[in-house]
Chain A
Amino acid sequence: NAGVMQNPRHLVRRRGQEARLRCSPMKGHSHVYWYRQLPEEGLKFMVYLQKENIIDESGMPKERFSAEFPKEGPSILRIQQVVRGDSAAYFCASSAGTGGKNSPLHFGNGTRLTVT
């Protein structure tokens, strides 16, 4: 089992460019979550998706950020017109169910976004 796969591991973008972060959940997992971690801080929830559906996006900034989990292919977190404050580690997690005891969240290795 390859686990949760995220790519790229590192991404450098100039201000104003777009960043696309990809996440393939663990085999058999249909629930995907995106979290953001600023340096020396905890993880902040951004969005929870199932195939073709956004279930909870209460942690997503209202502008420039979007996420999708299409029927085929990985989940994508897209950040348009990046700013320096977007620099962070973005972690994807997946679960078989709703993240309870019997379906805990498994995290990927993260994508470290640097905006110059």
Chain B
Amino acid sequence: GENVEQHPSTLSVQEGDSAVIKCTYSDSASNYFPWYKQELGKRPQLIIDIRSNVGEKKDQRIAVTLNKTAKHFSLHITETQPEDSAVYFCAASNTGTASKLTFGTGTRLQVTL
């Protein structure tokens, strides 16, 4: 089955700096890679996703890059703000078969003033 590894487990940045979170996956058949943000005690919320036919996708301060050859993908947050503080999860799935997402173990991002 799929295995997703995520690094770092914790990340502290100063407000205005950039944050990068990296994930690797094992199943070459995976073709869908969403990122979720989870604030304390709340639901995971989809913030951006990318499919395997695209190398990069951007939405305002958030961007995701995908390297299919190396089987890794990354989340980039620019101009970080205190409200970006949360736990971020990457995930992977093969939407051609099962629809389950395999999640990484999460990155706790702390944006300090």
Contacts and interface: CB of A to CB of B under 8 A. Distances in A.
Interface of A: 4, 31, 33, 35, 40-45, 48, 55-56, 58-59, 91, 95, 98-101, 104-110
Contacts, number: 67
A4 to B, nearest CB: 8
B98 to A, nearest CB: 5
Given A41-B105, A42-B105, A43-B44, A98 B99 contact: yes
Interface residues of B, number: 24
B33 to A, nearest CB: 10
Contacts of A99: 32, 93, 95, 99-101
A47 B110 CA distance: 32
Interface string B32-45: 10101000001111
Contact of B103 (A44, A58, A101, A106): A44
27 contacts: A33-B99, A33-B101, A35-B103, A42-B6, A43-B44, A43-B89, A43-B101, A44-B103, A48-B98, A55-B99, A56-B98, A58-B1, A58-B98, A58-B100, A99-B32, A99-B93, A99-B95, A99-B101, A101-B49, A104-B46, A104-B49, A105-B34, A105-B46, A107-B44, A107-B45, A109-B43, A110-B43
A65 B28 CA distance: 31
A48 B99 CA distance: 8
Contacts of A108: 43
Nearest to A6: B43
Contacts of A48: 98-100
Contacts of A41: 105-106
A109 B42 CA distance: 6
